[in-house]
Amino acid sequence: MKYKFASDCHNHSACSPDGHDAIAAMCARAAELGLYAYTLTDHCECQKYEERYRERVENAWVQMGAVRPPEGLRFYRGIELGQPNQDTASARAALAGRAYDFVIGSVHNIRDYEDFFFLEYKDAPAGYIDSLLETYWQELLELIAWGDFDSLGHLTYPLRYIEGEHGIPVDLKRHREAIDGVLSALIQAGKALEVNTSGLRQKIGRTLPDLPLLKRYRELGGRLVTLGSDAHSTADLGKGIEEGMDVVREAGFTEFAVYEKRQPRMLPLE
């Protein structure tokens, strides 16, 4: 790693439904890569907590507590809460009694719709995609207003599929006011913005969010940034982190955050 403090703070183990490798294996890979810090953030889709995630969340917590990270690796226990705004009671239950270091807040699907991954876009009626995005920005505002998280996950998540997988261009200028509203609310709430590097290894080919949006976040006063590969296996762990740090520097930042006990530890981009 060319960056002394390179850290990966968004990852999923086999405790997530779509994860592949054990927590110990993920930690070993993080150490092998020379990461400064590594945070595991297994999934909890809040509106499915009782039926699918209660046991997984508990298993992940117990296994994270039992793991002995390799010497030199700073290992932090986290969770990714999906749609906590849609089921705040389940979100609270997932966090209760567990002293996480880091909580990512994400929206993978808007109310009454499947995950953006599963939606059909090719033959959608005029205005359909813009309508989805308008609702998405609104749900991000709800998530921020709810507030019990540390960093907002993959701001431009829907574009991973709309643009990346389906090749349908989206003019974000039409959503400038809504995005500014989300970023401003995030800043006012004292929350971080995640730079998710998964897009660099996917068809969309850029970080989520990308450089222009990171610059805008900084223009509006944003200073808290986290980085995560969104790896679901040891093979993808750490991928794009260095490039993501390059993007963060280009946006004008000199440091980024790693969370310990729900508090940001600022690290230099060096």
22 in any annotated domain: yes
- What range does the domain containing 95 cover? 7-268
Distance CA 96, CA 76 (A): 17
Instruction: Answer whether residue 217 is part of any domain.
Output: yes
Cα R_g (the chain), whole angstroms: 17
- Whether 39 maps to a domain, the answer reads yes
Chain-centroid distance, C-alpha 62:
22
DSSP string, 54-65: HHHHHHHHHHHH
- Position 91 confidence tier, pLDDT thresholds 50, 70, 90: very high
CATH number at residue 34: 3.20.20.140
In a domain, 94, yes or no: yes
Is position 121 within any domain? yes
What's the pLDDT tens digit per position in 170-202? Answer: 999 999 999 999 999 999 999 999 999 999 999
Work out how many domains the chain is built from and give that number.
Answer: 1
Residue 211 belongs to some domain of the structure: yes
pLDDT interval class at 160 (50, 70, 90): very high
- Give pLDDT tens digits for 37-90: 999 999 999 999 999 999 999 999 999 999 999 999 999 999 999 999 999 999
- The whole-chain average pLDDT of the chain stands at 98
How does strand 263-268 pair with strand 255-260? Answer: antiparallel
Residue 126: predicted pLDDT: 86
